[in-house]
Amino acid sequence: MSEPLPEAAAPSAEPAPLPPRPRAPAALVVLATLAVGYTLWAAQEVILPVLLAMFFALIGNPIIRLLQKLYLPRFLAALLVVLGGLAASGALAVQLAGPATEWVQQAPQQMRQISRQVQDFVKPVQQANQAAESFARAAGGDGNRKVQVIRTQLDDPYKALVRTPKLAASALAVVLLTLFFMIYGENLQRHVIALLPNRQQKRFTADILRSIEREISRYVLTITVINVALGLVLAGVLMLLGIDMPEALLWGTVAALLNFAPYVGPLIGIVLMLLMGFVEFRDPLTATLPALAYLALHTLEGQLITPIVLGRRMAISPLMLILALMLFGWLWGMVGLLLSVPLLVCVKLVLTRVDGMHGWAKLLE
């Protein structure tokens, strides 16, 4: 009788685990972070027009989708949105050019007027300080002080002449890039997704990009509408206080732009409203009304309207907001302050969608 054949070994149900990915040294991570930060600062003349164009395209994408539902081609819808934005910006610039030029020309005289008003308030304190300094000088015998010479340096007019064509070229690049992002942004996403190796990754990446683009577009457009409404209401309040319409519209526009930078922008706005109030009104109590009105409107917007409209899903930790404002403001100046919050919200949405990154997303809340 033949011996039974040995049974074939059953294949293992679980594949062999992949070896863990080696972690980079901490020094290498720090050096890479510093290199990225330096690159973002050094290449800002190239990066900032691209980021601004993406920012404006995100504002216009919901409007383009609405126009597409009316059977307009995407190219025509994008062109209408860009031309409409340029027309509105040009009309606003024409309205604000006169008051802005007048304020710039009268700034030295107005600052001297404000300083005289402030001196009237602190005159008793200054007299006490002068008396104390005289007493200390007499007691110490310090009667011969060296005269300190202060040198002033005038700005070179040729620098401004050279800077103007660069600014015009940057503005034209932003407009053209905005139009191209609106028209070809979806095709660019498809081409990027096509580079992925398998179908599952393509579908996952397409869902992430589509959802992030829609949520960021809705967020940026909503914030823009809220800030514009805040500026218009503030301009109406200033007109009720007796300020002319062009000048009230100027300060309303400034308040709307500053509101894109949370915490920092409103603080700057309150200081500007105080300065403007002391220039426009003689009565100290009346001079504080523009700043109080701006503070009340900003409190209503920040604590009630924006949380109700956007909900907690877009909420960012105030500490993270301040850190982002400091970082991007240091890197890119006022443009960095404008873009810091949308960039931070975009990072949070990406972390929320990617598996294993939910803890990092919670860190930003």
For residues 234 and 231, what is the distance between their CA atoms, to the nearest angstrom? 5
Q: Average pLDDT of each block of 10 consecutive residues along the chain (365 residues)? A: 50 52 68 82 86 86 87 90 89 79 70 63 60 60 50 51 71 89 84 81 79 78 89 92 86 88 86 85 84 91 81 72 85 83 81 76 78
Q: What is the pLDDT of residue 58?
A: 82
Residues 341/262, Cβ–Cβ less than 8 Å: yes
Q: Which two tokens stand for residue 361?
A: 């997303």
Q: What is the pLDDT of residue 214?
A: 79
Q: Provide CB contacts within 8 A for 231, sequence distance 6+.
A: 252, 253, 254, 255, 256, 259
Q: Which residue has the tokens 């860190």?
A: 363
By 3-state DSSP, what share of the chain in percent is helix, strand and coil, each rounded to 5? 80, 0, 20
Q: What is the pLDDT of residue 233?
A: 93
Chain centroid to CA 226: 14
3 state DSSP class of 144: coil
List the beta strands (DSSP E) in the chain. none
Q: What is the pLDDT of residue 220?
A: 80
Count of C-beta atoms within a 10 Å radius of residue 334: 13
Q: Provide CB contacts within 8 A for 215, sequence distance 6+.
A: 349
Q: What is the pLDDT of residue 282?
A: 78
What is the percentage of the chain residues whose pLDDT exceeds 70?
76
